[in-house]
Amino acid sequence: QQQVKQSPQSLIVQKGGISIINCAYENTAFDYFPWYQQFPGKGPALLIAIRPDVSEKKEGRFTISFNKSAKQFSLHIMDSQPGDSATYFCAASDDRGSTLGRLYFGRGTQLTVWP
């Protein structure tokens, strides 16, 4: 059973455009929602994260929007650049429950930004 569902699988955006990646979850115990960025041949790296007590978090060109009632969250990349071309993973975990230590990942979105 997939804990976190991510879409789209791939995304092509022109330079300067907005990239949007969506994720959905079912487990209402999840209380931490990070996004990781992975370049080819490298391990994933933490990009930005949010907790459900806020609806939006912004760091530079990257914004997480969180909808607790819909159990959905999304990553927005403003002014997308060719250097943003990478695979993006959303994830979720429950820090206070029996699954402490388990971070569940979506299947990833391969973003390509054309110059």
Query: Which residues would be at the binding site for another protein (CB under 8 A)?
Result: 6, 9, 31-32, 34, 36, 41-46, 49, 89, 93, 95, 100-108
Minimum distance from residue 13 beta carbon to another protein (Å): 21
The residue (of 66 and 105) whose beta carbon lies closer to another protein is: 105
Query: What is the spatial distance between Cα 55 and Cα 46, in angstroms, rounded to a whole number?
Result: 19
Q: Which two tokens stand for residue 68?
A: 């607790």
Q: Which is nearer to another protein, 66 or 89 (CB)?
A: 89
Report the nearest approach of another protein to the CB of residue 14 (Å).
25
Determine contact, residues 6/89, Cβ cutoff 8 Å: yes
Nearer to another protein, 72 or 87 (CB): 87
DSSP state of 79: S
- Cβ neighbors of 1 (< 8 A, separation 6 or more) are none
Task: Name the minimum Å distance from CB 88 to another protein.
Answer: 11
Residue type at 85 in one-letter notation: S
Nearer residue to another protein within complex by CB, 46 or 78:
46
Report phi then psi at 88, rounded to 5: -115, 135
At residue 83, the 3 state secondary structure works out as: helix
Least Å from the CB of residue 69 to another protein: 22
